[in-house]
């Protein structure tokens, strides 16, 4: 057989055709006529297929193989290999994929790296911009789902509740939605902001802190996290959106440990400390006691119960310097609480006989 036209005369080449409609193999001959592939069937019938409709699928024991993307299962095997002229007339083979072949491997790799970097950037920064967008009522429901109301472990006495309310009001921003504060019967030196404008103080904090001014500084710091909407940012970053939306596992101590153990960014910690110093100043409470607290913590930081509270915070020595440096020697400060109020607050968990310790925390 020979085929004329723009492609010139070419000898027929034996090939094997699978038409995709049955498993039968058809022994045929092929040639080229201009932009068409000619297929001569065993019956003598000639079929034309546009070369542009074919793709080269590589070589193997079957020889060279052509396929038709528009007809699944259709393939043409040429045991002796594609004739040079026919190979030159076919579309270039896809080595990596259509769009990669069009761009080139180098450019495609650069584009893929840029897209990957952008996606990573979105994932890493999403909590920072998504957290503050969560409405407070939604955040409150998330907090309740994660840790519950903690009522059984919350200490109450009339005098203690009044002292806590006074302390919160003195260091919080005026005219804002109230922040709910609780003292939990947990023997750890810790305090934390919870989702939905909540702050918890652990009773172990009062065993270590002997000055209400220092407690005021710690409370103001946690208020800073609440007011700056740092809590949802940290939840989304550390626990992930799926965990946050899934809510509680039923084990309150485990869930509370997850939330109170959140690590804020250094920027967020700096903002919360700055908020605390501003609020102490507005309340005419000296930051000296808070600075002394952090100075003591700096000496014991490498080990011991301090690590629970301080592991996610900046160096205590730096914080001690910042709070100590905020003291205005020319100013007259007042105590955060009176001696009677301080005693009522610090001994609240000892005097409340109905409260149950939060075990296994």
> 361 lies in a domain?
no
Question: Three-class SS of residue 130?
Answer: helix
Judge if 235 and 334 occupy the same domain.
yes
> 298 lies in a domain?
yes
Which percentage of the chain shows pLDDT scores above 90?
A: 43
Average confidence (pLDDT) over 41-58: 89
Of 113-127, 131-145, 182-196, 294-308, the range with the lowest mean pLDDT is: 113-127
**Residues paired with 17 in a beta bridge:** 26, 76
> 357 lies in a domain?
no
What integer pLDDT is reported at residue 5 of this predicted model? 43
Judge if 18 and 101 occupy the same domain.
no
What integer pLDDT is reported at residue 115 of this predicted model? 63
Higher pLDDT, 247 or 352: 352
pLDDT band at 139 (very low <50, low <70, confident <90, very high): confident
Judge if 203 and 295 occupy the same domain.
yes
Q: Dump the DSSP string for 67-115.
A: E-TTSTTEEEEETT---HHHHHHSPPP-SS-HHHHHH-HHHHHHHHHHH
Judge if 346 and 273 occupy the same domain.
yes
Q: What is the tens place of the pLDDT at every residue in 285-328?
A: 999 999 998 888 888 765 444 444 444 456 788 899 999 999 99
Q: What is the average pLDDT score of the chain?
A: 81
Q: What is the tens place of the pLDDT at every residue in 76-122?
A: 999 988 888 888 888 766 555 555 555 555 666 666 666 655 544 44
> 174 lies in a domain?
yes
Judge if 188 and 142 occupy the same domain.
yes
Judge if 78 and 174 occupy the same domain.
no
Last residue of a domain, one of 93, 122, 153: 93
What integer pLDDT is reported at residue 106 of this predicted model? 63
Number of structural domains (the chain) is 3
The CATH number covering residue 67 comes to 2.30.29.30
Q: What is the tens place of the pLDDT at every residue in 7-34?
A: 444 578 999 999 988 888 999 999 888 8
> 279 lies in a domain?
yes
What integer pLDDT is reported at residue 87 of this predicted model? 85
> 296 lies in a domain?
yes
Judge if 66 and 103 occupy the same domain.
no
R_g of the chain, CA atoms, integer Å: 37
Higher pLDDT, 360 or 5: 360
Judge if 111 and 155 occupy the same domain.
no
* pTM score, whole prediction: 0.61
Judge if 309 and 330 occupy the same domain.
yes
Last residue of a domain, one of 85, 109, 133: 133
Judge if 99 and 236 occupy the same domain.
no
> 58 lies in a domain?
yes
Q: What is the tens place of the pLDDT at every residue in 232-282?
A: 888 777 666 554 555 545 556 666 766 666 778 788 889 999 999 999 999
**CA dist list (Å): 52 to 75, 80, 240:** 15, 22, 49
What integer pLDDT is reported at residue 108 of this predicted model? 60
pLDDT band at 360 (very low <50, low <70, confident <90, very high): low
Judge if 41 and 81 occupy the same domain.
yes
CA angle 167, 173, 178 (to 5 degrees): 75
Which residues lie below 8 Å from residue 186, measured CB to CB, with a gap of 6+? 153, 202, 203, 204, 357, 358, 361
Judge if 20 and 99 occupy the same domain.
no
Average confidence (pLDDT) over 329-340: 96
pLDDT band at 62 (very low <50, low <70, confident <90, very high): confident
> 213 lies in a domain?
yes
Higher pLDDT, 180 or 311: 180
Q: Give the structural domain span for 293.
A: 134-351
What integer pLDDT is reported at residue 7 of this predicted model? 46
Q: What share of the chain is helix, strand, coil (3-state, %, to 5)?
A: 50, 15, 35
User: DSSP strand E in the chain: where?
Assistant: 2-3, 10-11, 13-19, 26-33, 36-40, 46-50, 55-60, 63-67, 74-78, 180-184, 191-194, 198-202
């Amino acid at each position: 057989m020979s085929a004329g036209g723009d492609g010139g005369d070419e000898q027929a080449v034996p090939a094997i055709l699978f038409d995709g409609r049955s498993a039968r193999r058809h022994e045929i001959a092929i040639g080229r006529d201009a932009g068409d592939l000619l297929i001569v069937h065993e019956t003598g019938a000639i079929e034309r297929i546009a070369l542009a409709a074919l793709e080269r699928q590589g070589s193997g024991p079957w020889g060279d193989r052509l396929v038709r993307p528009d007809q699944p299962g259709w393939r043409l095997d040429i045991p002796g290999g594609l004739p040079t002229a026919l190979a030159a007339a076919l579309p270039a083979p896809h080595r990596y994929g259509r769009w990669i072949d069009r761009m080139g491997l180098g450019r495609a790799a650069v584009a893929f790296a840029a897209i990957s970097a952008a996606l990573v950037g979105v994932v890493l920064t999403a909590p920072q911009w998504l957290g503050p967008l969560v409405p407070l009522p939604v955040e409150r429901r998330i907090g309740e789902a994660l840790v519950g109301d903690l009522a059984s472990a919350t200490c109450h006495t009339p005098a203690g509740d009044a002292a806590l309310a006074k302390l919160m009001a003195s260091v919080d921003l005026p005219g804002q939605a109230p922040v709910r504060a609780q003292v939990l019967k947990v023997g750890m030196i810790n305090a934390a902001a919870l989702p939905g404008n909540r702050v918890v103080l652990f009773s172990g904090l009062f065993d270590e802190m002997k000055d209400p001014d220092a407690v005021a500084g710690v409370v103001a710091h946690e208020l800073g996290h609440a007011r700056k909407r740092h809590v949802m940012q940290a939840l989304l970053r550390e626990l992930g959106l799926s965990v946050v939306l899934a809510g509680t596992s039923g084990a309150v101590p485990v869930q509370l440990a997850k939330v109170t153990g959140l690590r804020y960014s250094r920027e967020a910690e700096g903002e919360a400390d700055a908020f605390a110093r501003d609020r102490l100043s507005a309340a005419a409470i000296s930051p000296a006691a808070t600075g002394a607290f952090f100075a003591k913590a700096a000496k014991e930081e490498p080990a011991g119960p301090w690590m629970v509270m301080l592991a996610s915070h900046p160096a205590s020595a730096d914080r001690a310097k910042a709070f100590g440096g905020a003291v205005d020697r020319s100013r007259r400060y007042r105590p955060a609480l009176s001696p009677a109020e301080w005693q009522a607050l610090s001994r609240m968990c000892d005097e409340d006989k109905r409260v149950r310790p939060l075990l296994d925390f």
